Structure 1
Amino acid sequence: MSKKKPVPLNHTAKVILELITYNRETYSKFDELTTEELCKKLQPGQVNWVNVDGLGNLEIIEKLQVHFGLHALLIDDVLNDQRPKSEEYEDYLFFTLKMLYRIDNTGIDYEQISFVLGKDFLISFQEKEGDLFDGFRERIRLDQGKVRKKHSDYLLYRLIDIIVDNYYNVLDRIGDLIEETEDDAYENPSNQSFYKIQSLKKEVIFLRKALYPLREALSKVVKGESEFIKEENLPYFADVYDHVAHLIDSLETYKDLTSSLLDIHINAMNTRMNEVMKVLTVISTIFMPLTFIVGVYGMNFEYLPELQWRWGYYIVWGVMLAIVVAMLLFFKRKKWF
């Protein structure tokens, strides 16, 4: 996966600001807000989930930076491709990771998502419109589960958990692709199957870069190093940590499988080449005595023996056919083909 370039300055790029505020008794959702409207609708004492879709309009990002007092280095991490990590500032916790959607013939569809967790707010920065959270938003609205009874740190846990759960879908699809590619490597080894194997290896490497740092980031949270995560919610983050550890174990298995796929492909290609060479060798061996015979009787000497035989032509053909049949029976008996 190539590293993304920094988001260019563009004051006209579309940015969607969404705000969900809630507690045990109340719930409100606002879409398509301006930064001024969003800041006015924030509710102290409630959980305020600010979701930002699109990072191209730096004017809006800078207004949010000023209102929430976000560090310039944090904004730089939001706008540029970063390895998953967790960093604690004086007034908030920063957490970033990769959100995977699916894998297809062109690779893994993903985006970077960053979270800023404060005392009564959570900001999620997404690179593009659309995410994995629509079902969870509905659960918040309907007051299903624990989310309305918890604070913003529990909201952060739920969003990370949803993202990590979808890693399983991507890994399962990679497993299916490995099986399909393995069948192709056995049945029809070709340049196309080789390219598929190389593509799978790249995707596995990308997932390793996404999962190993994510485990480290969650480890910092689980160890209770952050004052923004309540102790009662640490077991939830520990559960996500366990999921990531399980994903890494599965990924290591897939890494070994993709490496073995290359060996299978090479062996299959060598086997096919050996079969071709064997056939060519058999054909060449059969024609060697035939070439010798026709070479001898093709010489232009005037007193060459047997040239005056009436049935010589047919006798030579019979001898050559007998030689071919005898050699084929010999090869068959020796199980050379």
Structure 2
Amino acid sequence: MRQGAVPEVHLFSGSHGICRLRPKNGNGTSRTSQSHALYRLLDQLGDYLSPILNKVGGRLDAIETKLFEQPTRLTAYEISLVRRDIIALRRMLRPMLPVMAQLEGEEFPQLPQALDLYWGNVLDHLERAADILADYQEVIDGLAATSESLATQRTNEVVRALTIISTIMLPLAVVSGIYGMNIAGLPFADHPWAAVYAAALMIVVVGGMLALFKLRRWICRPFNDYLRT
């Protein structure tokens, strides 16, 4: 520092620009005022985390409600966005914890000992925010797994419905194919009510197959639900 210069402390506070401390006299800047200003800045930055965490928690609640009431394709995208935000917040917060723990637990000649309690206060805020983010990480991981499970279940139900339809149509296709070949000697081929008998046979086959599926619990709910799925 050049002779006669007035020392300054520059503290950056996000979008608010630079917080500059300048002593009223030219003898130097008070060490206590500098440290207290640093504490106030760090404490304010820690307080800024509270509304951010509340917003993330609200988004998690909205995703959980939407996931079980009216899931859409955008739900997975929203889960991905919230997970990205949580990871970014944890990445930002992780290196601050050991620094604040060192400020609280060790003595530095540049910092007055009277501020040890203040550093502990900031550390408590950061640790509480880190714990909340860890809980949010577990919640979003659970929601992602649940979303994948529900998507897999819906796919399985669609495949089951298509399989049931294909299985029912198979014997009907066999009966209609045999009687559609115009081969002589087929039972009831020349009977005037042959079409009625064939239709009755198909209905009996379909009813028997549905009863078998229901007995084996392959149809666990009304068939229309599978079509809606």
TM range (shorter): 0.7 to 0.9
Q: Residues 267 and 201 from structure 1, CA distance in 2 versus in 1: closer, same or farther, beyond 3 angstroms?
A: same
Structure 1 residue runs of 5 or longer lacking an equivalent are 1-64, 70-117, 134-149
Aligned to 1:183: 65
Aligned to 1:200: 82
State the distance in 1 between where 2:185 and 2:207 align. Answer: 31
Q: TM-score w.r.t. structure 2 length?
A: 0.77
Aligned to 1:159: 41
Question: Structure 1: which amino acid aligns with 2:150?
Answer: A
Question: Structure 2: which amino acid aligns with 1:223?
Answer: G
State the distance in 1 between where 2:69 and 2:170 align. Answer: 33
Residue-by-residue CA offset, 1:67-93 (whole Å, 9 max, x unaligned): xx9xxxxxxxxxxxxxxxxxxxxxxxx
Question: Structure 2: which amino acid aligns with 1:267?
Answer: S
The structure where helix makes up a greater share of residues is: 2
Question: Which residue, out of 212, 216, 220, partners 1:334?
Answer: 216
Within 5 Å, which residues of 2 pair with 1:10-89? Answer: none
Aligned to 1:222: 104
Aligned to 2:223: none
Aligned to 2:139: 257
Question: Structure 2: which amino acid aligns with 1:264?
Answer: T
State the distance in 2 between where 1:130 and 1:330 align. Answer: 75
Identity, % of aligned positions: 27
Q: Which moved more, 1:290-299 or 1:199-208?
A: 199-208
Once the two structures are TM-superposed, the CA of residue 198 in structure 1 deviates from its matched residue by 2.0
Structure 2 residue runs of 5 or longer lacking an equivalent are 20-31, 220-229
Is 1:310 equivalent to 2:197 in the alignment? no
Query: Which entry has the higher C-alpha Rg, 1 or 2?
Result: 2
State the distance in 2 between where 1:264 and 1:226 align. Answer: 49
User: Could you tell me whether the CA contact under 8 Å between 1:175 and 1:254 is conserved in 2?
Assistant: yes
Residue-by-residue CA offset, 1:307-333 (whole Å, 9 max, x unaligned): 211111112112212322332233233
Structure possessing the higher relative contact order (Cα contacts under 8 Å, 6 or more residues apart): 2
Aligned to 1:270: 152
Aligned to 1:39: none
Residue-pair matches, total: 206
Residue-by-residue CA offset, 1:105-145 (whole Å, 9 max, x unaligned): xxxxxxxxxxxxx98x54333453589x9xxxxxxxxxxxx
State the distance in 1 between where 2:51 and 2:45 align. Answer: 10
Pairwise CA RMSD of aligned residues? 3.0
Aligned to 2:11: 124
Q: TM-score w.r.t. structure 1 length?
A: 0.54
Once the two structures are TM-superposed, the CA of residue 303 in structure 1 deviates from its matched residue by 4.4
User: Could you tell me whether the CA contact under 8 Å between 2:107 and 2:113 is conserved in 1?
Assistant: no
Once the two structures are TM-superposed, the CA of residue 159 in structure 1 deviates from its matched residue by 2.4
Aligned to 2:164: 282
State the distance in 2 between where 1:276 and 1:130 align. Answer: 57
Is 1:212 equivalent to 2:94 in the alignment? yes
Once the two structures are TM-superposed, the CA of residue 293 in structure 1 deviates from its matched residue by 0.8
Once the two structures are TM-superposed, the CA of residue 239 in structure 1 deviates from its matched residue by 0.9
User: Could you tell me whether the CA contact under 8 Å between 1:224 and 1:231 is conserved in 2?
Assistant: no
Segments ≥4 residues shifted beyond 6 Å: none
Residue-by-residue CA offset, 1:151-184 (whole Å, 9 max, x unaligned): 3322322222122122122122222222322333
Aligned to 1:232: 114
Aligned to 2:224: none
User: Could you tell me whether the CA contact under 8 Å between 1:186 and 1:268 is conserved in 2?
Assistant: no
